[in-house]
């Protein structure tokens, strides 16, 4: 046993202390987090180039143009800080002697009426009363040559009170300049659409502000009625995290087992290609060597899983201090299951990698045997969405019993909200560990023969023959 531990410790030390490993395990997540922080900072700073220019609204009534001025203005007022609101009001006052209250009513084609100042949008609205083809063509031409950023043509029927029986929505046309990005196009579409609704409300003798307020959907404050008798509030954020949880667990399991499986493969191939294998076999048996390698790399995988899951748990604890409902998202039992599935997945992957590593003489030869293993390792990624959506579906149940996909399928199911039938989990775990024993046994058989074989890599049939050797 002490020899196995000696081999295991060397494998662990040689892997963990390598700069490549430290960079890969610590550096890459830090890099990802760093990039996310930079992206958030840039978004917050709103570095998107502002939309500045004039939109022509072809609207014989002139009402939509006026309402659009308010809508673009409200967009500003809704979203900005008090200071910016005051700034907008000050600018509006500067421009219109009537003050901010006068803004909606002063719309004139001759004098671009409304200037809304903010980080993203600064729009002048040009109201056009002639809706003939020549005017529209001329406005479209102005959009083309860049003097207008958009032209909206509002047919009269669009602002008429809609017939509730009419399912099809009336349409207006919008010509947008080439350089306007899709976010800005959406904004323009939304604001002009809201302006039309505002005009309709006014025509129906409703207070437009009140009508708009009526259209705002109330926010649900959902809570779960727990069996314990308590009620636990559940926000949108909590729900999103719950949906992501199966993926988080699956990725954690996959990264920790697959990374270490790769290290195990490379270290076995290195010992064969450097011809150090026979030196080792003079001191330890092939089984001791394989066991030592598997245990050593299991330590590496555990370290990776611990690092990442600790970071995740810390994030959840911090999150729970801000939102109480997050406390119920991650329970200690999840971590127990994570450990159970980690060992199951690791020993399955490790036995495959040890067998392949022992059977080939160098990394180039390994490709032919590693490719099928890699394909098998990709199965969890294909399973994630379908199993998350139907955790008790036939696909999920089937893959819960097929190694090496079973631990990944099971952890996705465990983390999903729908509970697994009580009989399935213990049965699947027991079956999984039986498969682990069988896979390690077969790997040991292949390893014992493979480590001393040089030359042409074996075919799968030859590998089966090796398993049958005594």
Partner 1 sequence: MAEIAISIQKVNKHFGDTHAVCDLDLDVPRGSLCGFLGPNGAGKSTTIRMIMSIIYPDTGSIQVLDSSALKNKDRIGYLPEERGLYRKMRVGEFLEYVAKLKGMQISELPAHVREWLNRIDLPDVYRKRCQELSKGMQQKVQFLAAVIHEPELIILDEPFSGLDPVNAQLMTELIRKMNDNGATIIFSTHILHQAEQLCDRIFLINKGIKLLDATLEQIREQFDPRTLLAEPLDGDINLHGIEGVRDVRQMHDSPAMEIELSEGADPQEVMGKILAAGPMRSVELRRLTLDEVFIRQVAAGVGEQAAEVAREELSHV
Minimum distance between the CB of residue 256 and partner 1, rounded to whole angstroms? 24
Minimum distance between the CB of residue 361 and partner 1, rounded to whole angstroms? 11
**DSSP SS3 for 174:** strand
Per-residue CA distances from 212 to 99, 138, 216, 249, 288 (Å): 23, 34, 7, 43, 75
Per-residue CA distances from 211 to 24, 67, 71, 128, 198 (Å): 56, 13, 14, 26, 8
Compute the distance between CA of residue 112 and CA of residue 115 in angstroms, rounded to an integer.
8
Which region, left, alpha or beta, applies to residue 219 given φ > 0 means left and ψ of -120 to 50 means alpha? beta
Minimum distance between the CB of residue 1 and partner 1, rounded to whole angstroms? 12
User: Where would I find the H helices in 50-146?
Assistant: 63-79, 82-95, 133-145
DSSP conformation class of 88: H
Contact status, residue 174 vs residue 151, Cβ threshold 8 Å? yes
Minimum distance between the CB of residue 6 and partner 1, rounded to whole angstroms? 5
CB-wise, 218 or 455, nearer to partner 1? 455
Between vectors from CA 319 to CA 313 and to CA 322, what angle results, nearest 5°? Answer: 150
Compute the distance between CA of residue 429 and CA of residue 417 in angstroms, rounded to an integer.
19
Compute the distance between CA of residue 408 and CA of residue 89 in angstroms, rounded to an integer.
58
Nearest residue to 411 via CA among 300, 250, 259: 250
CB-wise, 283 or 437, nearer to partner 1? 283
Place of tokens 């999150």: 319
Minimum distance between the CB of residue 285 and partner 1, rounded to whole angstroms? 7
Binding site for partner 1 (CB under 8 A): 3, 6-7, 10, 14, 270-271, 274-276, 278-285, 452, 454
Minimum distance between the CB of residue 445 and partner 1, rounded to whole angstroms? 14
């Amino acid at each position: 046993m002490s020899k196995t531990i000696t081999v295991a410790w060397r494998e662990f030390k040689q892997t963990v202390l390598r700069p490549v490993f430290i960079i890969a395990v610590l550096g890459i997540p830090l890099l990802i987090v760093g990039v996310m922080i930079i992206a958030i900072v840039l978004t917050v700073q709103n570095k998107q180039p502002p939309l500045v220019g004039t939109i022509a609204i072809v609207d014989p009534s002139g009402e939509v143009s006026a309402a659009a001025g308010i809508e673009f203005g409200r967009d500003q007022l809704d979203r900005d800080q008090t200071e910016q609101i005051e700034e907008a009001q000050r600018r509006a006052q500067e421009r219109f002697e009537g003050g901010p209250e006068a803004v909606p009513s002063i719309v004139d084609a001759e004098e671009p009426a409304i200037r809304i100042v903010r980080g993203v949008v600064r729009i002048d609205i040009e109201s056009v009363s002639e809706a003939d083809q020549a005017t529209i063509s001329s406005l479209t031409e102005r959009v083309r040559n860049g003097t207008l950023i958009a032209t909206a043509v509002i047919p009269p029927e669009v602002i008429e009170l809609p017939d509730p029986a009419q399912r099809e929505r009336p349409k207006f046309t919008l010509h947008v300049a080439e350089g306007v990005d899709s976010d800005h196009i959406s904004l323009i579409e939304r604001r002009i659409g809201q302006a039309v609704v505002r005009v309709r409300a006014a025509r129906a003798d409703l207070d437009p502000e009140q009508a708009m307020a009526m259209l705002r959907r109330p926010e649900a404050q959902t809570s779960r009625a727990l069996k314990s008798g308590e009620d636990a509030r559940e926000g949108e954020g909590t729900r999103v995290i719950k949906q992501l949880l199966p993926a988080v667990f699956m990725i954690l399991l996959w990264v920790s087992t697959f990374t270490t499986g790769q290290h195990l493969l490379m270290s076995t191939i290195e010992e064969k290609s450097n011809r150090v294998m026979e030196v080792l076999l003079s001191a330890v048996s092939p089984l001791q060597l394989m066991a030592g390698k598997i245990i050593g790399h299991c330590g590496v995988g555990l370290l990776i899983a611990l690092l990442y899951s600790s970071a995740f748990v810390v994030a959840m604890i911090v999150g729970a201090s801000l939102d109480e409902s997050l406390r119920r998202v991650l329970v200690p039992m999840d971590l127990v299951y994570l450990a159970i599935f980690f060992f199951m997945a690791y020993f399955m992957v490790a036995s495959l990698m040890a067998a392949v590593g022992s059977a080939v003489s160098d990394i180039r030869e390994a490709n032919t045997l590693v490719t099928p293993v890699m394909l098998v390792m990709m199965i969890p990624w294909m399973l994630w969405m379908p199993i998350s959506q139907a955790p008790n579906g036939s696909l999920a149940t089937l893959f819960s019993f097929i190694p090496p996909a079973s631990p990944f399928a099971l952890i996705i199911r465990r983390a999903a909200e729908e509970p697994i039938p009580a009989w399935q989990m213990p049965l699947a775990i027991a079956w999984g560990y039986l498969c682990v024993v069988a896979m390690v046994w077969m790997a040991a058989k292949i390893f014992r023969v493979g480590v001393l074989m040089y030359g042409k890599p074996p075919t799968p049939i030859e590998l089966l023959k090796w398993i049958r050797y005594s």
